[in-house]
């Protein structure tokens, strides 16, 4: 099938001036314009950008799978020298899966729920190489072992839902590798996974890429991940490639204002909410049919020059001294790229006051039925175990952990949506442990409020923004008349820096970041003293994240609010929190000030978590610690220490103590708590995971 005359020193994939549009009943919506990139054999190319920038559309165009409404309106996609855009459906079918394979974001959704894993894997060589069923299954078994899954014989006979998310993603990777493709397209392959699982997948992809010599097109919104995996990258903004080059060059010597703004808005080590705050990109991402004339980034750019940047379409320009480094900026040669950020506002540190919230020995158990049919034994899920901590006025306490660690349950108990099984919650010297929210008085309710994770879910879609804030005011008994409440609502909109005209809008007319701001305004309607923010920015694009985080910090500073910041993202936690609490399977495994937690000694889990978070900084050196396996289920936790199944330090504890006994809480210097059996001297010998190379 493959063209034998293809020269391996030539690019494997060449995209030239590709333009893609989607056609709706009303109009043509250009999704990608004038996009070019080249992938050499064995090279890993990263496509980076915020949601809606067209990076996934490029990938689907390479697969020629744009759906009914999408069409390639210009340019060429050459794969091994042959133009994919003009190929027939039949020719494409021979290339798909055998020469180009794709890996998607949602592993569960990409596997057929009614087919065994083996059958889904074996199908590929059976179609493309005409392999016999027996040989194909044998190969499937081998590849399953290759992607480091335990017990391949069991797995190839399993159905997808019997595997965990991380295992499913490994199967999807195995499927892509079944016929040793020349090009692998990965579309946000780890976004749906936990960080420690993600680290394992990333390692696997890198190793397999080297082993099979596969070229990769790696699509991600995460700059750190791209740095880990790719050799070269291409930054996209609003349907265009704005900068392309090799990873180190683009990271260290970016030549496009958007790339620069992007790096300034992500929390890298060294950023600090008070002394070195993040710089959000002003304005909003343009909608595809509302793109500006000339440079798409123009309206948000610091270096914008009227009459020049918005005059005509801007071509890609080559940066001379770079390695195939190109930028779509007219002024790149004039800008002083090393100039320090002007007018960097340093903010005063908020004062930390008295204790407002104190939890002691909090436990929350759920009983769930044993099987899907409602029968069987009742099982107990221990969502929270002996949770104790206190939070002060004006303080940010971060609660960190991966899925299933019990952080959301904890929030529910605190809010009064669930009642605790035992223990006490003292809120301003009042015990609210067993008081459900319906029994709490208005003052208590209005002083503890929550900001939710999903911006698309946090507002009622069929009520205007103003109405929703006014309702909160009514319930919290704020204002004496409707007029007063209306005025207060407008003030709240000012507080979260939204135009007052938004009061009359419906939530669907708002962007994700704007919705999240309304959610914050609503939470502060009753003058909240304690705000639980459950991953408030994790669903937002990086450039918007910075703005929303800063908003939260500003309001906190003004009101002396206690912020409980629940997150899995350690970068942002390091940036904004005063103290950190790390949770694993319902237990607090480590707690201390931000500095204590991010410096050795660590709890082994914190150590692994720190090492797993990708950091988009070429000067940072990370020690790679990849955890084996998945997070155990809370229904069936391991005996002894909850982390013992994945701990790399386990052998250092004598007598198999980890298997038998729950570790005690060791209180180290400065009130730093670690729940671990490791002896003090071993803890003291731990090395830091992250080192910042001297500049």
**Residues near another protein, by CB under 8 A:** 63, 65, 68, 93-98, 101-102, 104, 106, 109-115, 123-124, 127-128, 159, 161-162, 172, 175, 371-376, 415-417, 437-438, 440, 442, 445-446, 448-450, 452-454, 457-463, 471-472, 474-477, 508, 519, 522
Tell the smallest beta-carbon distance from residue 343 to another protein (Å). Answer: 37
Instruction: Report CA-CA distances (Å) from 275 to 42, 271, 347, 350, 616.
Output: 43, 8, 6, 12, 20
CA dihedral 330, 333, 334, 338 (to 10 degrees): 120
Q: Measured between alpha carbons, how far is residue 535 from residues 540, 548, 561 in Å?
A: 10, 12, 17
Residue 110 exposed, middle or buried by CB count within 10 Å (0-12, 13-18, 19+) = middle
Cβ closer to another protein: 530 or 597?
Answer: 530
Of 452, 456, 353, 352, the residue nearest 411 (C-alpha) = 452
Q: Which is nearer to another protein, 87 or 620 (CB)?
A: 87
Distance from C-alpha of 593 to C-alpha of 190, rounded to nearest angstrom: 30
Closer by beta carbon to another protein, 112 or else 422: 112
Q: Which is nearer to another protein, 342 or 480 (CB)?
A: 480
Q: Whole-angstrom Cα distance, residue 375 to residue 483?
A: 55
> Which burial class, exposed, middle or buried, applies to 438 when counting CB atoms under 10 A from its CB (0-12, 13-18, 19+)?
exposed
The least distance separating another protein from the CB of residue 493, rounded to whole angstroms, comes to 17
Q: What is the crossing angle of helices 465-475 and 512-523, to 10°?
A: 20
Phi and psi, residue 240, nearest 5°? -125, 150
Q: Which is nearer to another protein, 77 or 271 (CB)?
A: 77
Q: Are 395 and 351 in contact (CB under 8 A)?
A: no
CA proximity to 609, closest of 594, 628, 626, 592: 626
| Helix locations, 355-417, DSSP H | 407-415
Q: What Rg do the C-alpha atoms of the chain give, in angstroms?
A: 27
User: For residues 396 and 577, what is the distance between their CA atoms, to the nearest angstrom?
Assistant: 5
| Cα 206 to Cα 150: distance, rounded to the nearest angstrom | 19
- 457 or 595: CB nearest another protein: 457
Nearer CB in complex with another protein: 339/372: 372
Q: Give the CA angle between residues 369, 371, 373 to the nearest 5°.
A: 100
Element (H, E) at 502: none
Whether residue 21 contacts residue 34, with contact meaning beta carbons closer than 8 Å, is answered with no
HSE, side-chain direction, 13 A CA sphere, residue 310: 13
| Shorter beta-carbon distance to another protein: residue 123 or 243 | 123
Q: Of the two residues 220 and 449, which places its CB atom closer to another protein in the complex?
A: 449
Nearer to another protein, 4 or 438 (CB): 438
Pick from 260, 244, 264: nearest CA to 303: 260
3 state SS of 251 = helix
| Closer CB to another protein, 370 or 656, in the complex | 370
Helix H or strand E segment including 694:
none
Q: Which is nearer to another protein, 168 or 606 (CB)?
A: 168
Rounded to an integer, what distance in angstroms lies between the CA atom of residue 50 and that of residue 300? 15
- Cβ at position 230, least distance to another protein in Å: 22
Tokens of 195: 């960080």
Write down the least CB distance from residue 120 to another protein, Å: 8
Report in angstroms how near the CB of residue 102 gets to another protein at its nearest. 5
Task: State which H helix or E strand residue 514 sits in.
Answer: helix 512-523
CB 323, min distance to another protein, A: 32
Tokens 């007029």 correspond to what residue?
483
Instruction: Indicate the residue among 110 and 388 with the shorter CB distance to another protein.
Output: 110
Smallest gap from residue 440 Cβ to another protein (A): 7
Shortest distance, position 695 Cβ to another protein, whole Å: 43
Determine contact, residues 658/605, Cβ cutoff 8 Å.
Answer: no
Q: How far is the CB of 385 from another protein (least distance, A)?
A: 24
Q: Which is nearer to another protein, 252 or 430 (CB)?
A: 430
Rounded Cα–Cα distance for residues 486 and 489 (Å): 5
Provide the CB-side half-sphere exposure for 296 (13 A, CA).
25
CB atoms within 10 A of CB 219: 25
CB 59, min distance to another protein, A: 10
């Amino acid at each position: 099938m493959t063209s034998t005359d293809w020269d391996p020193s030539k690019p494997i994939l060449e995209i030239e001036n590709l333009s893609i549009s989607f056609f709706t009943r009303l109009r043509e919506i250009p999704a990608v314009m004038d996009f070019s990139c080249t992938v050499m054999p064995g090279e890993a190319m990263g496509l980076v950008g915020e949601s809606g920038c067209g990076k996934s559309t490029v990938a689907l165009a390479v697969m020629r799978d744009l759906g009914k409404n999408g069409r390639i309106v210009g340019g060429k996609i050459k794969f091994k020298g042959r133009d994919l855009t003009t190929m027939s459906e039949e020719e494409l079918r021979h290339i798909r899966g055998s020469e180009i394979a794709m890996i998607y974001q949602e592993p569960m959704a990409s596997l057929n729920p009614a087919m065994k894993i083996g059958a889904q894997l074996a199908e590929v060589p059976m179609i493309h190489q005409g392999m016999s069923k027996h040989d194909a299954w044998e190969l499937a078994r081998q590849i399953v072992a290759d992607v480091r899954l335990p017990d391949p014989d069991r797995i190839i006979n399993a159905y997808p839902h019997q595997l965990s998310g991380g295992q499913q993603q490994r199967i999807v990777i195995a499927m892509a590798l079944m016929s040793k493709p020349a090009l692998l397209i990965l579309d946000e392959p780890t976004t749906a996974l936990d960080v420690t699982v993600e680290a394992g997948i990333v390692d696997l992809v890198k190793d397999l890429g080297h082993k099979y010599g596969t070229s990769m097109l790696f699509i991600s919104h995460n700059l750190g991940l791209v740095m880990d995996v790719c050799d070269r990258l291409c930054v996209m903004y609003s349907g265009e490639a704005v900068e392309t080059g090799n990873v180190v060059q683009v990271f260290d010597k970016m030549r496009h204002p958007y790339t620069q703004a992007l790096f300034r808005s992500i929390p890298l080590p060294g950023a600090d909410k008070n002394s070195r705050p993040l710089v959000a990109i002003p304005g909003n991402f343009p909608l595809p049919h509302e793109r500006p004339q000339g440079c798409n980034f123009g309206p948000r750019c610091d270096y914008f020059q009227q009459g020049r940047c918005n005059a005509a379409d801007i071509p890609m320009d080559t940066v001379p001294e770079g390695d195939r480094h190109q930028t779509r900026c007219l002024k790149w040669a004039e800008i002083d790229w090393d100039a320090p950020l002007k007018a960097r506002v340093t903010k005063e540190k908020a004062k930390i006051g008295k204790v407002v919230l104190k939890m002691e020995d909090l436990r929350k158990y759920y009983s769930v039925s044993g099987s899907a049919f409602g029968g069987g034994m009742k099982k107990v899920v221990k969502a929270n175990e002996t949770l104790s901590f206190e939070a002060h006025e004006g303080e940010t306490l971060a609660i960190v952990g991966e899925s299933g660690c019990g952080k959301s349950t904890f929030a529910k108990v605190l809010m009064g949506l669930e009642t605790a099984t035992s223990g006490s919650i003292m809120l301003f010297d009042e015990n609210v442990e067993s008081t459900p929210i319906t029994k709490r008085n208005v003052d208590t309710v209005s002083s503890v409020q929550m900001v939710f994770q999903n911006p698309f879910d946090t507002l009622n879609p069929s009520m205007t923004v103003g109405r929703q804030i006014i309702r909160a005011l009514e319930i919290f008994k704020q204002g004496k008349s409707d007029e007063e409440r209306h005025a207060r609502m407008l003030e709240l909109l000012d507080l979260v820096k939204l135009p007052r005209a938004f009061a009359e809008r419906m939530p669907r007319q708002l962007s994700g970041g704007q919705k999240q701001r309304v959610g914050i305004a609503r939470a502060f309607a009753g003058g909240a003293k304690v705000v639980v923010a459950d991953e408030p920015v994790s669903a937002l694009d990086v450039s918007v994240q910075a703005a929303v985080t800063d908003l939260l910090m500003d309001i906190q500073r003004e009101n002396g609010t206690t912020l409980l910041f629940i997150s899995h993202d350690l970068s942002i936690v390091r940036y904004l929190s005063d103290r950190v609490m790390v949770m694993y399977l319902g237990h607090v495994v480590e707690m201390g000030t931000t500095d204590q937690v991010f410096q050795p000694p660590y709890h082994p889990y914190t150590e692994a978590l720190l090492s797993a978070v990708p950091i988009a900084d070429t000067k940072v050196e990370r020690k790679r610690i990849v955890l084996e396996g998945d997070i155990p289920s809370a229904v069936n936790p391991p005996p002894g220490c909850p982390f013992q199944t994945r701990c790399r330090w386990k052998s250092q504890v004598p007598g198999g103590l980890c298997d038998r006994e729950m570790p005690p809480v060791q209180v180290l210097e400065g009130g730093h708590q670690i729940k671990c059996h490791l002896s003090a001297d071993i803890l003291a010998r731990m090395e830091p995971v992250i080192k910042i190379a001297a500049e």
